[in-house]
């Protein structure tokens, strides 16, 4: 059995100052956020995922959203070039952590003007969809494709204009069905199998195994819908991160491959 690990990064003291694009700023309780983060990490561990903490980046308010710093495909870790310049210092700690775990590390060619956030990348069964919109550009899609296509991936850009990141709009269930909240999805027809869900928070699931997904407590109707489809749902409260346009996918990078 391959080791299953999950990269995570503790929220820092400046969390409440995180960047916002589509939401009005609300007060964020950093102490509550830290407790919620600990609950999230405990939920991963309880489901058999070993948490690996990336070194803190306390000067970067958004550093807890570790997913944006890297795209992992099999044994290759592609360090991103975030679209928000303020977030670029976040990648160093992630790169070090993955290097220590034995992953091959590659970088986008930033000279092309490529920007890429990991939250814009949705992977399933050899297909890699990349949201093109606020934080990731066409050059970022091309740069990622140049690294992943030699490894057999099919990389496709999809428009993302209504949310910060592609995975703020859609994620995939274990069988490849893409779930999303229709008002926030640019093109539901971009996926062969699309399941509309009744809540914005229901757009975000973390696949833990073939029968289990992690999701936010803010989407109880979606959780019920997924249970009707035979899935087990593990629900965690991440209300303080949702105020910052965060979701369950942003808070970890699941590592299914042992280098």
Q: Is residue 209 part of a domain?
A: yes
In a domain, 20, yes or no: no
| Residue in 237, 231, 241, 199 with CA at minimum distance from that of residue 217 | 237
Q: Which residues pair with 170 in a beta bridge?
A: 180
How many whole angstroms separate alpha carbon 71 and alpha carbon 50? 19
Reduce the DSSP state of residue 118 to 3 states and report it. Answer: helix
16 inside domain: no
CATH number of the domain to which 75 belongs? 3.75.10.10
Residue 67 marked as a ligand binder: yes
Is residue 244 marked as binding? yes
List the 154-160 sheet strands across, edge first. 121-124, 127-133, 154-160
Q: In this structure, is residue 205 part of a structural domain?
A: yes
Report the sign of the C-alpha dihedral through residues 45, 55, 202, 241, in that order: positive
Does 211 belong to an annotated binding site?
Answer: no
Quote the strand ranges of 54-137, DSSP E.
Answer: 70-73, 76-79, 104-107, 121-124, 127-133
Domain count, the chain: 1
Give domain status of residue 18, yes or no.
no
Q: How many CA atoms lie within 13 A of 81 on its CB side?
A: 17
pLDDT tens-digit profile, the chain (259 residues): 457 999 999 999 988 777 656 667 778 899 999 999 999 999 999 999 999 999 999 998 999 999 999 999 999 999 999 999 999 999 999 999 999 999 999 998 878 999 999 999 999 999 999 999 879 999 999 999 999 999 999 999 999 998 889 999 999 999 999 999 999 999 999 888 999 999 999 999 999 999 999 999 999 999 999 999 999 999 999 999 999 888 999 999 999 887 7
Residue 171 lies in a domain: yes
Q: Identify the domain containing residue 130 by its residue range.
A: 5-11+29-255
Residue 114 lies in a domain: yes
Instruction: Kindly calculate the radius of gyration of the chain based on its CA atoms and give it in whole angstroms.
Output: 17
- C-beta separation of 82 from 63 below 8 A: no
**Would you say 88 is a known binding-site residue?**
no
Q: Does the annotation list 42 as a binding residue?
A: no
**Total-model pTM:** 0.94
| pLDDT (0 to 100) of residue 19 | 62
Residues with a catalytic annotation lie at 165, 250
Is 17 assigned to a binding site? Answer: no
According to the annotation, is 232 in a ligand binding site?
A: no
Residue 156 belongs to some domain of the structure: yes
């Amino acid at each position: 059995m391959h080791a299953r690990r999950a990269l995570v990064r503790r929220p820092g003291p400046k969390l409440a100052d995180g960047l916002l694009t589509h939401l009005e700023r609300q007060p964020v309780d950093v102490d509550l956020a830290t407790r919620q983060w600990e609950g999230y990490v405990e939920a991963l561990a309880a489901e058999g995922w070993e948490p690996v903490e990336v070194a803190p980046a306390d000067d970067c308010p958004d550093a807890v959203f570790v997913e944006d710093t890297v795209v992992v495909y099999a044994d290759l870790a592609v360090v991103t070039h975030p679209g928000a310049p303020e977030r670029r210092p976040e990648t160093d700690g992630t790169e070090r952590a993955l290097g220590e775990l034995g992953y091959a590390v590659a970088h986008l060619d930033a000279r092309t003007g490529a920007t890429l956030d990991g939250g814009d990348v949705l992977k399933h069964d050899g297909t890699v969809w990349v949201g093109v919109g606020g934080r990731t550009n066409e050059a970022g899609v091309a740069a990622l494709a140049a690294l992943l296509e030699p490894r057999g991936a099919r990389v496709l850009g999809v428009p993302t204009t209504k949310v910060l990141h592609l995975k703020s709009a859609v994620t995939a269930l274990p069988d490849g069905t893409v779930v999303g909240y229709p008002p926030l999805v640019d093109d539901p027809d971009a996926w062969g199998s699309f399941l509309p869900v009744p809540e914005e928070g229901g757009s975000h699931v973390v696949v833990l195994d073939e029968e289990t997904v992690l999701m936010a407590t803010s989407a109880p109707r979606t959780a019920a819908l997924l249970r009707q489809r035979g899935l087990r749902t593990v629900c965690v409260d991440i209300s303080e991160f949702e105020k910052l346009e965060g979701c369950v996918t942003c808070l970890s990078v699941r590592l299914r491959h042992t280098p």
